[in-house]
Structure 1
Amino acid sequence: MYLPKSLKKKSNKLETNDLIGFSVFADSEKLGTITSINNHALNPLLVVAYEDRELLIPISDYFIKKIDPKLKKVKVELPEGFMEI
């Protein structure tokens, strides 16, 4: 059954699709903006517009360290070499 967002019960819980448009930071460096969420994989991915390509970051506590809904920021910690993949 389809339920329009306007009729959906309001919740304080942040949904993954709510992250679209958030800025992504590693340390204090802005990497880019979340353009979409890839839910087709076994592990959902943030799709981040990074320079002239897309950066795919798993939605996992291992990578995502903090989400600030008020400032629309996501803080990530990426392993060494992740950006070169």
Structure 2
Amino acid sequence: MTRDEQAMLAFATRWLPYCGGDEHIFPEFGLSPAEFYRRVFTLVDRRFVSEVDFATKQQLREFCLMKLAQRPRMNPGGS
């Protein structure tokens, strides 16, 4: 796991109890919240990630899915 991936995982774990932190994602990582949550979801879905315990992995998966579901979808038709 890279340092950036470790930092993303630590950030997501730190903000997990608060269901927030979106406003800090771009300044910290240079990513949109949607991209951040996609990447964190991929990280916790890896079998070899040992930085967090199983229960925290489950909570992070659910948190990422919830955050991704909340993201407004762009409607190319404008309606």
Bin for the TM-score computed over the shorter chain: under 0.3
Structure ID, larger Rg = 1
Q: Which has the higher contact order (CA 8 A, sep 6+)?
A: 2
Structure with the higher fraction of residues in helix conformation: 2
TM-score, structure 2 as length reference = 0.21
